[in-house]
Structure 1
Amino acid sequence: MFSWLARRRRRQGMAAGNEADQGSHWLAVADLMAALMMIFLFLALLHMVQVERESAVHTEVRNEAAALRAAIYSVLEEEFREDLPRWNAELDRDSLTLRFREPEVLFERSSARIRPRFEAILEDFMPRYAEQLRPFAEVIREVRIEGHTSSEWAGSDDALEAYFGNMDLSQRRTRAVLEYAYQLEPLQEADWFRSRVAAVGLSSSRRVLDERGEEDRRASRRVEFSVLTDFEARLLGAGAASDEAGPRPLEARGR
């Protein structure tokens, strides 16, 4: 009798021990899960802070870019407001492009020779243009002189031949403009301008279309002066820079 009671008590004690072990096991698992959850929450919070920080930096760069581009447009518009109509030129706010739209005034027919009228315009325009841009030299990546043509090419109906013929012509024309500008005394001392200006011939790759979607050959033949800023590069690098030092202040005729 006593032996049976002893065995029963031992079994009850073992069962209670097993239940206690299982309870301790689940308690340890619960503690581990709670610790992991705290780690995940910390990492999520850290990521949110980093995203907000980078967003703030990007917003600051974009706002500064918009303000300075508006300032560049403002000084150019004020300087050339009265000249644009008589030059048959226009100033585009969004692209900071000053466009000369009178092909008969610009160059000799099928030639890179600058007409006297355009020489007179360049002599007046170029020094003033460089002077107005000088205060923004730190944020100007490039001042680009672009030559554009229509898709027309005398003596050939082959589109590829016309394209490359106009490419050569547009390149020679922008180089002629740049060479003429370098001869102007005020620009010979404008080192910042000379280090940033570039002449680019784009052939008929950016033709002007009319309201019917057809090429306007006359409007396509033009010379443009565009200001390219470095805000895009600064924006791309803003996130990395913010990790180290916080936000830093700051873009013709083929016949």
Structure 2
Amino acid sequence: MDAWAKKEESYWPSISDLMSGLMLVFLFIAIAYMRNVEEGQKRIKKVAVAYQETQVSLYNSLMDEFKGDLPRWKARIDKDTLSVQFMEPDVLFQTGSAEVTNQFKTILDDFFPRYLQVLFSHEYQDCIEEIRIEGHTSSEWGNGDVAHEKAYFHNMRLSQDRTRSVLRYCFGLAANEEQKGKMEKYVTANGLSSSRLVKDEQGCELKRFSRRVEFRTRTNAEQKIVEIVEQLNNEIP
């Protein structure tokens, strides 16, 4: 065997050893990755279960607090979105106006302090991400002879003005400075125009019920899941 053959023979085993070593490294990485993914799935599932339990518990707490008042307020509580929906437009605002009516102020005087008491209780205060005051309108504007796009933007401005008016009034109902601080952190005003209409089973708009104000609670489960995913990404080699 000449010198080149001997050199080549000694060369290939080293390449083979290198490839075997690399395969072992990739195998260890794959195992670590799968363990991380499995652990992440367990943690996400745990958050999802806790989220579901919190949703049900919070809905039950709101119902226990307000079930006797909802009929006279012309309101309801949606279990899926945890939103208290005030569905009587004539009680809320005058047509085309963003000023809260005296009748709605009377309702808010009764509703809002109790609402905050439930959400900021020891049981739920660490679960709250946002408390949204949402203003919704029908798809029409004025006598209904305005083009859809113009009506949408007119209603957008009106719904935004209305939610700010409701927020401003509710802010004055805070019991103390600590509660005002929590409101500044968690409560937002959101005018949504006609983007979330109420419709019947045939898909036709129910214009009267589309004109409403909602107090909607968002929990922080989504943010917790995002944090878990980011942590897993940092842990993966």
Which category of TM-score, normalised to the shorter sequence, fits these structures? 0.7 to 0.9
Partner residue of 1:235 out of 225, 233, 236: 225
Q: How much identity, in percent, do the aligned residues show?
A: 42
Partner of 2:166: 177
Do the aligned residues in 1 keep the contact of 2:135 with 2:160 (CA within 8 Å)?
Answer: yes
- Determine the C-alpha separation between the residues in 2 that align with 1:27 and 1:148: 74
Matched, 1:129 2:148: no
Which 10-residue stretch deviates more, 142-151 or 50-59? 50-59
The change in CA–CA distance for 1:27 and 1:110 in structure 2 (over 3 A counts) is closer
Query: Unpaired segments of 5 or more residues in structure 2?
Result: none
- Determine the C-alpha separation between the residues in 2 that align with 1:23 and 1:78: 83
Matched, 1:90 2:102: no
- Determine the C-alpha separation between the residues in 2 that align with 1:187 and 1:35: 66
Alignment TM-score, normalising by the size of structure 2: 0.84
Q: Number of paired residues?
A: 231
Helix, strand or coil: the match of 1:194? helix
- Determine the C-alpha separation between the residues in 1 that align with 2:196 and 2:162: 16
Partner residue of 2:136 out of 139, 148, 155: 148
Which 10-residue stretch deviates more, 224-233 or 118-127? 224-233
Query: Unpaired segments of 5 or more residues in structure 1?
Result: 1-13, 246-255
The change in CA–CA distance for 1:239 and 1:151 in structure 2 (over 3 A counts) is closer
- Determine the C-alpha separation between the residues in 1 that align with 2:199 and 2:85: 16
Matched, 1:39 2:25: yes
Cα distance, 1:242 vs structure 2: 5.7
Which structure's CA Rg is the greater one? 1
- Determine the C-alpha separation between the residues in 1 that align with 2:178 and 2:27: 60
- Determine the C-alpha separation between the residues in 2 that align with 1:71 and 1:108: 36
Partner residue of 2:205 out of 194, 215, 229: 215
- Determine the C-alpha separation between the residues in 1 that align with 2:176 and 2:91: 23
Partner residue of 1:115 out of 101, 121, 140: 101
Alignment TM-score, normalising by the size of structure 1: 0.79
Which 10-residue stretch deviates more, 215-224 or 73-82? 73-82
Cα distance, 1:112 vs structure 2: 1.6
Partner residue of 2:89 out of 96, 103, 107: 103
- Determine the C-alpha separation between the residues in 1 that align with 2:6 and 2:163: 89
Cα distance, 1:121 vs structure 2: 0.8
For the aligned residue pairs, the C-alpha RMSD in angstroms reads: 2.7
